[in-house]
Structure 1
Amino acid sequence: METHELEALATVQVETGDNFYKIVDFLNRTLKPYNLVFGLSKEEDNTLWLSVYEATQHPARH
């Protein structure tokens, strides 16, 4: 079984939006075949951070 590791490619601060998670979900579903993963995090002050990761595969460790 292979394991996956995420490497951050870019991060940007964005304005708060109620439906922003829908864009992240859309990007994840659409670009999954390209090994790209998008993340959204929210800080206590409502700052949103959008991150782009590349999923890399590693052989299983025994």
Structure 2
Amino acid sequence: MMIGMALERFRASRAGARTVHRPVTRSGAFLIARVMGVTDTHTRWRAWRQAMAEGRVLIR
């Protein structure tokens, strides 16, 4: 539940810079961000895209 809310907030904070066409799997960006200890939103987004490119994140 808390992750869902955080994800919505994360998505909203990013909405101005980039349009999200598909929803990220619920824990995708945050699991990676927490593991890496990333706090900066931009770095978190880059980390998520990197992981997606490596096939570690699923998009439905």
- Fold-level similarity (TM above 0.5): no
Which one has a bigger Cα radius of gyration?
1
Higher strand share: 1
Q: Which TM bucket (shorter chain)?
A: 0.3 to 0.5
Higher helix share: 2
TM-score normalised by structure 1 residue count: 0.33
